[in-house]
Structure 1
Amino acid sequence: MTTTQTRRPGLPHQRRGALRRMLPVDEYAGLARVIVERSARLYLRAWAVLISGVVEPLFYLLAVTVGFRSLVPTVTLADGSTVPYVDFVAPALLAASAMNGAISETLSIYFKLRYDKLYEAMLTTPVGPLDIVLGEVGWAVLRGGFYGTVFLGVLAALGLVTTPWAVVLVPVGLLVSFAFAAVGMAWATTLRSNAQLDYVTLASTAMFLFSTTFFPLSSYPAAVQWLVQLSPLYHGVELARMFFLGTPAPAALLHTAYLVVLALGGLTLARVRLRSMFLG
């Protein structure tokens, strides 16, 4: 979809920061915060939708603590140590909660693009494509991070948090949200029909079930393990798990780098897609 927009001039050069000077005037005006503020105001009137996203992982946690604990008391990790099954699953559910929050928010981008024509209206102002990308991704990160933080609070209330390292799960949740929000927005710009939204749901469900959320990597066939390790959620789960258990390791740098590269790649692709769709 390509449209021609008559746009107001960008901000004066002397008011433009370093990033703005590196980009075309019509691409970035430093107004991403306005997009975040708009989303926040909308959810003040739809707070139940925001809160509902916390409920699903809590049901999974309840199932694990009440039901599966008696059936699967412990899990053996890759280093040979054993941990209670609930301690194995809880940080994975936190990472999945952050993922779901970010994906839920970026799915709405499809409707803003195809039906609401919201971005066309925004681009008649000094707001540029990169402002939209940063603003939408920023709000999705806040939503996913909120889910992860609330989930961590529930874990603490249940007495499952036993190490000071667990506080790192807050930035871990934000990082997971960042990666999925950026990729989700880039993906949303490629969708052409409502039916294709099912592919997003299918992908997120598959990652939730098979990213070592409920089973250690060693339980998968060797031929499947490499595929599991390609999943962004796998890296988020492993990162969250090592800090929740208080066992940080050098592998944390690898997991972090994977998610950061994925997020930056998603931001870049989303920016290019929006620019080509609306500015030519």
Structure 2
Amino acid sequence: MSVVTAAVGAPDAARRLGAGEATSLLLYRNLLAYRRAWYVFVSGFLEPVFYLFSIGIGVGKLVHGFEFNGAEIGYRDFVAPGMVAASAMNGAVMDATFNFFFKLKYNKLFDQMLATPLTTLDIARGELAWSLSRGGIYSAAFVVIMLCMGLVGSWWALLVVPAALLIGLAFGAIGMALTTWMRSWQDFEYITLAIMPMFLFSATFFPITAFPEWLRWIVECTPLYRGVVLCRELTTGALSWGSAVSVVYLVVMGLVGLAVVRRRLDRLLLT
């Protein structure tokens, strides 16, 4: 609240805001807008939880487990980290696509923001920070459930929430970038068409070795697979160079998406 007060009460109303100050203002604005919509957050979090209980536990009784990075792990331990990555993806994508599109095309919220000292880069950073917050909350709550169920086998799991934020960064930035090209709500079928196969086939429920080699290479290039690998290696403690590759991949993807969002907002709102 102090950030808001300082910005509004500044002697020079036209002064440029710092990156942190602008991001804080937009986070606070979104927090106020969603304070009565808590059920939206709950609904997005419950889906991967249901998958964990139905598939990770139910089907897990029929599956003895898998070998992961040279160690034998149970099926529940295999599926749970994949659900963490999926939670981060779902939380980020929801705000970065549907809600972002509504603000851009129908609510005209961003046009109003540009009448203030905010810039298009401030808007992009603020909206991405909010989608990261949502994905981070989902993932943190899911990690707590994993701890209660005894599905965490390493202290490296402390880094799972930061890893989930990286996943949210990548999906949130690319989601916003793609949304700037959306013309109507029907175009969001393409988002669903991309998200669902990734969710099902990014080694979330079964090892990637089940795929033929040509398909395995394609799957390994998808962002959710990189996120699943990172979360799974952290929760099991079986770290490899795959985690480092995943971190670099997700950071680069997020930065590229953020740059595209800024350029697209400049074109859509300032010309």
Task: Compute the TM-score of the two structures, normalised by the length of structure 1.
Answer: 0.88
Question: Which of 215, 221, 235 does residue 206 from structure 2 map onto?
Answer: 215
The DSSP-based 3-state class of the residue aligned with 2:66 is: strand
2:155 paired residue number: 164
Identity of aligned residues (%): 41
**Runs of at least 4 residues off by over 6 Å:** none
2:179 paired residue number: 188
1:11 paired residue number: 15
Q: How far did 1:75 drift?
A: 1.2
Q: Which runs of 5+ in 2 are unaligned?
A: 1-11
Question: Which of 66, 77, 80 does residue 75 from structure 1 map onto?
Answer: 66
Q: How far did 1:66 drift?
A: 3.2
Q: How far did 1:230 drift?
A: 1.4
CA RMSD of aligned residues (A): 1.7
Q: How far did 1:133 drift?
A: 0.2
Question: Which of 136, 141, 144 does residue 135 from structure 2 map onto?
Answer: 144
Q: Which runs of 5+ in 1 are unaligned?
A: 1-7, 18-27
2:189 paired residue number: 198
Alpha-carbon distance in 2 for matches of 1:44, 1:164: 34
Q: Deviations over 1:5-55 (max 9, x none)?
A: xxx98426xxx76xxxxxxxxxx7951221111111112111111122110
Task: Compute the TM-score of the two structures, normalised by the length of structure 2.
Answer: 0.91
1:61 paired residue number: 52
Q: How far did 1:259 drift?
A: 0.3
Q: How far did 1:219 drift?
A: 0.6
Question: Which of 71, 78, 85 does residue 75 from structure 2 map onto?
Answer: 85
Alpha-carbon distance in 1 for matches of 2:74, 2:87: 21
Stretch of structure 1 that moved more, 79-88 or 155-164: 79-88
The DSSP-based 3-state class of the residue aligned with 1:31 is: helix
Give the letter aligned to residue 41 of structure 1. L
Q: Deviations over 1:52-79 (max 9, x none)?
A: 21101110110134311121121123x4
Q: Deviations over 1:245-272 (max 9, x none)?
A: 0112222111100000000000000000
User: How many residue pairs end up in the alignment?
Assistant: 259
Q: How far did 1:279 drift?
A: 1.6
